[in-house]
Structure 1
Amino acid sequence: MRENALMATVEILRTDITTLAVDAVVNAANSSLAGGGGVDRAIHRAAGPTLDVECRTLRQTRYRAGLATGAAVATSAGRMPAKWVIHTVGPIWDGSGHQDGLLANCYRHSIAVADEVGAYSIAFPCISAGVYGYPIDRASRVAVTTCRQARPDIVNRIILVAYDDRAEKALQAAMAES
């Protein structure tokens, strides 16, 4: 990490994450990297068959047991305008709040992988706030806090993508609190 690293700028956009012309888009993946629902499905559809092939190769080589919760790995972005897709597996909400550290790791490790591949900009969905059941307000606070504390070497722009009004309001409230 560079000496006296500056924090990256963090912003909120309400848009379709698959259309962003950023260096890296984060995929809220499942551990098998096989494509699932929500953002994962949208990213796999937008990226096309190249992404499926790369994910299959990862499953057959480095991640035979699956990608661990909070870990992150990069692939190309196929037909999307982004250069890379960074896959991370968020925790499934169990009502206890003990998974906040794992959720924060999704953001930290994705930013670290973005640094490794040379990405200047990265866009995140609201990880775990869909089918994994994390409350959107809590997930937004973890996302904003973690991204604002990040001190990447290369990444200088972090976009938190809101998929609807509720997510946008939750992210804006978290930004105002931090």
Structure 2
Amino acid sequence: MDKIALIKGDITKMHTDAIVNAANSSLLGGGGVDGAIHRAGGKAILEDCIKIRNRQGGCPTGEAVITTAGNLPAKYVIHTVGPVYNGDKKEKELLLANAYRNSLIVAVENSIKTIAFPNISTGVYHFPKQRAAEIAITTVKDFLKNDAHIDQVLFVCFDEENYSLYQTLL
């Protein structure tokens, strides 16, 4: 499917309509890709996140919200909260699929044509990389089957291990 592309690189450098941030529920920035996006995008992203927190009290796991992209080359950042991999594994798999699906729904609602995803929940949240890649690809492919709005989904892998897993699965 040519609507899906794979890149090894830095998501903060992507010239897409939106990039997805693997955020935490506080939306106040953190480590990993979250911290990198907040640092590269500047305080405009944090200011938008604070407005969202004041309105709805953060972002629940599996849900997604949108902000400006600040100084980033993308136009928007879609913040989604992936699950921490512990406890009920089936529930965590559903929540991870929701994180991808809800990010795509937010993209469609905001007329976004191109979107870049990081490897959600595979860092400090310890989701097994192989299973996370399977869920990401399956969820995105299923969504695109019934969607005419999104032109391209990029999976942006920061490390070689994730890149190889996605390459094999795609």
Q: Please, what TM-score do these two structures have when normalized by structure 1?
A: 0.90
User: Match of 1:27?
Assistant: 21
Cα RMSD over matched residues?
1.3
- After TM superposition, the runs of 4+ consecutive aligned structure 1 residues lying more than 4 A away are none
CA distance in 1, matches of 2:34, 2:93: 21
Structure 2: 5+ residue stretches without partners: none
Question: In terms of mean alpha carbon deviation, does 149-158 or 15-24 score higher?
Answer: 149-158
Aligned-pair CA distance for 1:81: 0.5
Higher helix share: 2
Aligned-pair CA distance for 1:153: 3.7
CA distance in 2, matches of 1:153, 1:80: 26
Aligned-pair CA distance for 1:155: 1.1
CA distance in 2, matches of 1:8, 1:110: 20
Instruction: Find the partner of 2:72 among 80, 88, 93.
Output: 80
Aligned-pair CA distance for 1:97: 2.4
Corresponding letter in the other structure for 1:160: F
CA distance in 2, matches of 1:159, 1:108: 14
Instruction: Find the partner of 1:47 among 35, 38, 41.
Output: 41
User: Match of 2:86?
Assistant: 94
For the pair 1:125 / 2:118, whether they are aligned, the reply is yes
> In the superposition, relative to structure 1, how do residues 95 and 13 fare at CA in structure 2: closer, same or farther (>3 Å)?
farther
User: Match of 1:135?
Assistant: 128
> In the superposition, relative to structure 1, how do residues 8 and 121 fare at CA in structure 2: closer, same or farther (>3 Å)?
farther
Equivalences, count: 167
Q: Please, what TM-score do these two structures have when normalized by structure 2?
A: 0.94
User: Match of 1:4?
Assistant: none
CA distance in 1, matches of 2:140, 2:65: 18
Q: Deviations over 1:136-164 (max 9, x none)?
A: 11100001111111133411100011111
For the pair 1:173 / 2:165, whether they are aligned, the reply is no
Corresponding letter in the other structure for 1:165: E
